[in-house]
Amino acid sequence: MKKEINIKVCMGTGGLAAGGKEVMETFEEVLKREGIQASVEKHCSVHKVGCRGFCARDVLVDVIIDGEKTTYQYIKPDMVERIVQEHIVQGSPVDDWTVKDDYHTFHSKQVKVVLADCGEVDPEDIDSYISRGGYEALKKVFSQMSPEKVINTIEASGLRGRGGAGFPTGFKWDFARKAQAEQKYIICNADEGDPGAFMDRSIIEGNPHSVIEGMIIGAYAIGASRGYVYIRAEYPLAVERLKLALSQARQRGFLGEDILGSGFGFDIKIKLGAGAFVCGEETALIASIEGKRGMPRPKPPFPAQKGLWGKPTVINNVETLANVPYIIRNGAEWFARYGTEKSKGTKVFALTGKVNNTGLIEVPMGISLREIIYDIGGGIEGGRKLKAVQTGGPSGGCIPAEYIDIPVDYESLAKMGSIVGSGGMVVMDETDCMVNIAKYFLEFTQAESCGKCVPCRIGTKRLLEILTRITDGRGRPGDIELLIELSEDVKAGSLCGLGQTAPNPVLSTIKYFREEYEAHIHDKRCPAGVCKNLLTYTILEEFCKGCTMCARVCPAGAIVGERKQPHRIVQEICIKCGACFETCKFKAIKKG
Amino acid sequence: MEAKLQRILENYQQTEGNIISILQDIEETFGYLPEEAINWFSKRLDIPPAKFFGVATFYAQFHLKPRGKNIITACCGTACHVKGSERLINSLIKELKIPAGEDTSEDREFTVERVNCVGACSIAPVVIINKEVHGKMTPDKLMKEIKKLK
């Protein structure tokens, strides 16, 4: 009997970094040598797929024999031979290397809409997307739906912008639809700048056609004939796959003049971002596409009225657009089944930091942080204690462990002083210092402030200076109040979203972790043991075996002592780098 | 140089480019933005050099000084930060003898850069060595990779 064998190798950025390409080549080589690839009884093909979310386990490989799927994790090229021999030739999977229960719990609580085809379709093959229902939504739109009906459907689904602010997508389209102009534009914002977030990159790398299809539908709805994808140059693989996808879509007549005989013409260009966080802001992004310094301008007029080159322009985030084909295909009610009353559908999060299972997840809006961290994320690394969850990147805040039962939706997170944001979710444990985290984000926003308006340019700088002196052990009484006052001013006075949200990390950490600020300022102590100037390293004589390892790694030569005798750290020379602390096998070095 | 600049100019005219796309092409061709190149375009297109430099200094992607043969980019995103990217950078600066306040070694063999986030947070901390992404980095692993380049 002829067998259909499919091998899928994860080749997102995570998969490639773990050696995905080598694994795939080895499979092809071994299969060719064994003569299995297209033999009479076994038809076997190897495919590359995009990110399936669980990058911490890469390289992930699916072996599908007549529809029965076995997933392997942590695969290296030298493991391929055994998989081919035992599984593909003899038919018994290599149980030692297959995924276990925790892999299934990672997936079982998730609901995949946007990511449904990521990791299933070959991102470099348009037919692979079409075979799973791709471009059906576009055909449906052209054959059965007026632009108004498309907008009504999106409005009814309750889809809100997934880039951060959560503005209802249907309304945005409606504004642009009603604006009178000969030329209109639709822009896909793929300038995913939040540190700690990679949803958009993974979607484009895993399923670029879903974004393109969403854009064409959006263009039809508002009446745009030109589109741009503004994408970060830091995402080379995503850019490459998008370029390929665009040319394939053009060949098939999904882009260009008179798409599918509908009389509607539309095409998309790629614009590479040049590395400025503020360009995620709509008006700054428009300035950047026009070739100027990416500085925001006051709104109104909103881009939907006056945008790119002064023409009505809709700017949607990657994930928002990737939702569109699925909503059109399955209906607004289907989408609105998921989520809460005001936050419909699902949201993709980049779950990272100190959880066991890091990766890309898609969950229904309204799920609790607890379910995300403990069920999907598999709990905290090393069995340590959860301290806080940072959401929304530099515009968001830290939610402390005692509130992890709140639902994750736009309103609830805003009430906590944070935001859903684009979907970064960084889990922190007891070894993370909250003052240091606030300082980290202010370093970022201060450097990325475009400098146009005073509250943001100077306010973030002053905030950073105060935070720096606190973490250096030079904090003064009254600094906390000063931080709060200044933060409120920056929020109120800044021109764009960057400045208006930049103080959120400071305010939320003061709100929930004030005692940690006080310990830094009054006791000159960093409870988490992170802030260098407030630390001392000492060797505990009773544990020190005199192995000399610490003395050898010390870059400053600050550790003295005879072999096999307890060593000592000369505090005046110590630069507090922590190298000794990490090297010591006997836990003889104390930090504090 | 002239011929290379001419090619960039043609590309600009064919693709309805703008200042950013010109600068991106120059950066791609030369590895940085030579002053002569900008002046050349300034004359051809009758745009003051200040416009070019204004844009060039706004975006992190552009460099006004030549860079090293090997480019090592350390990701400083949130996930990498909490997993110790700062330590990786310090070890790089020390190992490659990068002068204080600079990012390139004196022999122009190595440039050490920071990037806000490369979006590979689940394999943090991440270091990109000559465009190749390396995840779950430790100072030891990093030094082994550096030795291969020396």
| All structural domains of chain B with their residue ranges | 2-58, 70-149
Whole-prediction pTM value? 0.90
Helix ranges restricted to H, A199-355? 199-206, 208-222, 236-251, 282-289, 318-330, 332-336
Residue of A nearest to B123 (CA): A56
- CATH code of the domain occupying B70-149: 3.40.30.10
- CB B77 to CB A195 under 8 A? yes
Rounded-to-integer distance, Cα A112 and Cα A52, Å: 11
Facing A233 at nearest CB: one of B61, B81, B134:
B61
A136: burial class by Cβ within 10 Å (0-12, 13-18, 19+)? middle
Residues contacting residue A489 through CB under 8 Å, at least 6 positions apart: A455, A459
CB A513 within 8 A of CB A398: yes
Q: For residue B30, name the pLDDT band (cuts at 50, 70, 90).
A: very high
Distances in Å between the Cα of A409 and the Cα atoms of A346, A412, A418 are 10, 6, 11
Assess B55–A contact: CB distance below 8 Å, yes or no: yes
Closest CA to A9 of A49, A67, A36, A58: A49
Q: What structural domains does chain A harbor? A: 3-99 (3.40.30.10), 126-336 (3.40.50.11540), 346-429 (3.10.20.600), 434-522 (1.20.1440.230), 536-591 (3.30.70.20)
Chain B residues whose CB is inside 8 A of the A359 CB are 122
Assess B48–A contact: CB distance below 8 Å, yes or no: no
- CB A197 to CB B124 under 8 A? no
Assess A393–B contact: CB distance below 8 Å, yes or no: yes
Burial per residue of A409-447, b for 16 or more beta-carbon CB atoms within 10 angstroms, e otherwise: bbebbeebbbbbbbbbbbbbbbbbbbbbbbbbbbbbbbe
pLDDT of residue A165: 80
Structure tokens, A383: 């069995």
pLDDT tens for the 592 residues of chain A, in order: 578 888 999 888 888 888 889 999 999 999 888 888 766 677 778 888 887 778 788 889 999 988 889 999 999 999 999 999 999 888 899 999 999 888 888 888 899 999 999 888 999 999 999 999 999 999 999 999 999 999 999 999 999 999 888 899 999 999 999 999 999 999 999 999 888 888 999 999 999 999 999 999 999 999 999 999 999 988 999 999 999 999 999 999 999 999 999 999 999 999 999 889 999 999 999 999 999 999 999 999 999 999 999 999 999 999 999 999 999 999 999 999 999 999 999 999 999 989 999 889 999 999 999 999 999 999 999 989 999 999 998 999 999 999 999 999 999 999 999 999 889 999 999 999 999 999 999 999 999 999 999 999 999 999 999 999 999 999 999 999 999 999 999 999 999 999 999 999 999 999 999 999 999 999 999 999 889 889 889 999 999 999 999 999 888 889 999 999 999 999 999 988 888 888 899 999 988 7
Helix ranges restricted to H, A472-503? 479-493, 497-501
Rounded-to-integer distance, Cα A353 and Cα B125, Å: 10
- Which ipTM did the prediction report? 0.89
User: Best of B25, B52, B122, B132 to disrupt the A interface by mutation (most A CBs within 10 Å)?
Assistant: B122
Give B8-52 as a DSSP string. Answer: HHHHHHHTT--HHHHHHHHHHHHSS--HHHHHHHHHHHT--HHHH
Assess A294–B contact: CB distance below 8 Å, yes or no: yes
Other C-beta atoms closer than 10 Å to the C-beta of B146 total: 18
Residue of B nearest to A444 (CA): B116
Give A398-429 as a DSSP string. Answer: EEEGGGTTSB-SHHHHHHTT---TTSEEEEEE
pLDDT of residue A103: 86
Rounded-to-integer distance, Cα A425 and Cα A353, Å: 8
User: Best of A10, A11, A13, A391 to disrupt the B interface by mutation (most B CBs within 10 Å)?
Assistant: A13
Closest CA to A589 of A569, A563, A572, A581: A581
For CA atoms A574, A578, A579, A584, give the dihedral sign. Answer: positive
Rounded-to-integer distance, Cα A578 and Cα A550, Å: 10
